[in-house]
Amino acid sequence: MAAVVNSELKLGMATREAFGRALVELGRRNPNVVAVDADLSKSTYTHLFAKEFPERFFSCGIAEANMIGVAAGLASAGKIPFAASFASFAVNKGFEQMRVLVAYPGVNVKIVGTHCGISIGEDGPSQMAIEDIGLACSLPGFIVLSPADEVAMRAAVWSAAEHRGPVYIRAGRPKAPVIYGPEQQFPLGQAIEVFPGKDLTIIATGLLVAEAIRARAELEADGVSVRLLDMHTIKPLDAAAIAGAAAETGAIVVAEEHLADGGLGVRVAQLVARTHPCCMEFVGINDTYAESATPEQLLEKYGLTARNIVEAAQRVLARKRKRAG
């Protein structure tokens, strides 16, 4: 799927706020949509839904395991529940409930984890979800979405409601650059080709799509033709887009705000290994926990900026040339 891109990358809404606003719109359209939250509704923006639909909002208190269980019960009786909290609590504390009450019976629950990655900043590692992609993808039948901006998030919320079955949506804390025009479509399971290119493919998700756009501009200035894929659906992966990128560009950099072990990168690598093995590099968090600082300082220190993507691209291109020569 091709893209209509705003290359100025002006800051827009945080994806968590875009989620909260989209949920209200969805609630107006569909009376079966309900929400549960665990004392973080002001941070996840489900307070907007609670204000407009108080009878369809269930405050669970700080009790994530019960929150996921209640959501499963609501879904079993025909409702479309959105359960929201920081991903580090919803997914990590609610994981067993996601497994046995949601994934295993295939119940129609939507889980939205906010404050993903290290760009939450000052609150530090206990609040940062850096393993949620791996955890959610390990659950059979789950759709896993990782929208890059407010436009993608709005689409993700509507797609999640239309899809019958478990969905996990990843959201971030900081304001996110607006990448897409309002008319952009995000079909589930189809990567967005943000830019075409033939020398190298960058596959990015979430906040790192904007960083990848900046990295691409630098690489193109050096004469490298860069294909950029926004992998807004992490599960199921767009196998055709990935195999095509491997076969046609022969070099791939995967960039994500997640542990490099267990995230999008390893999933892409598995697919590449099965189809057209090629040179790959990975930009992610390298087997560590972050710390308190500003989001910018953390992204810099833990290697998740455009600069890190450019360097990874240069390494992978050098390997590709060596292999060819």
Partner 1 sequence: MFKHIQDINTLAAVARRIRRHIITMTGAAGSGHPGGSLSAVEILVTLFFSVLRHAPERPDWPDRDRFILSKGHAAPVLYAVMAECGYVPVEQLTTLRELGSPFQGHPDRRFLPALEASTGSLGQGLSLALGMGAAARLEGAAWRTYVVLGDGECQEGQIWEAAMFGAFHKIDNVCAIVDYNKIQLDGFVKDVMELEPFAAKWSGFGWHVIELDGHDIAALSKAFAEAAAVKGRPTVIIAHTVKGKGVSFMENNPKYHGVAPTPAEVELALKELS
Q: Backbone phi, then psi, for 9, in 5-degree steps?
A: 55, 50
| 81 binding partner 1? (CB under 8 A) | yes
The number of residues that bind partner 1 (CB under 8 A) is 30
Name the residue nearer to partner 1 (CB basis): 61 or 196.
61
Residue 25 among the catalytic residues: no
Nearest distance in Å: CB 66, partner 1: 4
CA 232 vs CA 46, 151, 185, 239: distances in Å = 22, 11, 11, 13
| 73 binding partner 1? (CB under 8 A) | yes
Place of tokens 């093995």: 277
Name the residue nearer to partner 1 (CB basis): 55 or 183.
55
Task: Judge contact between 23 and 169, C-beta under 8 A.
Answer: no
Place of tokens 């799927």: 1
Distance CA 213, CA 317 (A): 18
Task: Judge contact between 66 and 73, C-beta under 8 A.
Answer: no
Stretch that binds partner 1, among 21-29, 96-104, 115-123, 314-322 (CB under 8 A): 96-104
| 9 binding partner 1? (CB under 8 A) | no
Contacting partner 1 (CB under 8 A), which of 1, 39, 58, 303?
58
- Given the residues 64, 150, 256, 281, select the one marked as catalytic: 64
Name the residue nearer to partner 1 (CB basis): 76 or 275.
76
Contacting partner 1 (CB under 8 A), which of 40, 48, 50, 72?
72
| 69 binding partner 1? (CB under 8 A) | yes
Nearest distance in Å: CB 88, partner 1: 18
Nearest distance in Å: CB 133, partner 1: 23
Alpha-helical runs (H) found in the chain: 15-29, 41-44, 47-52, 64-76, 87-93, 95-97, 132-137, 150-162, 208-221, 239-249, 264-274, 295-301, 306-324
Stretch that binds partner 1, among 17-25, 78-86, 271-279, 299-307 (CB under 8 A): 78-86
Q: Residue 18 is which amino acid? A: A
Distance CA 169, CA 157 (A): 8
Site for partner 1 in 27-56 (CB under 8 A): 34, 55-56
Distance CA 4, CA 179 (A): 8
Site for partner 1, rule CB under 8 A:
34, 55-56, 58-61, 63, 65-66, 68-79, 81, 96-97, 99-101, 104-105
Catalytic residues: 64
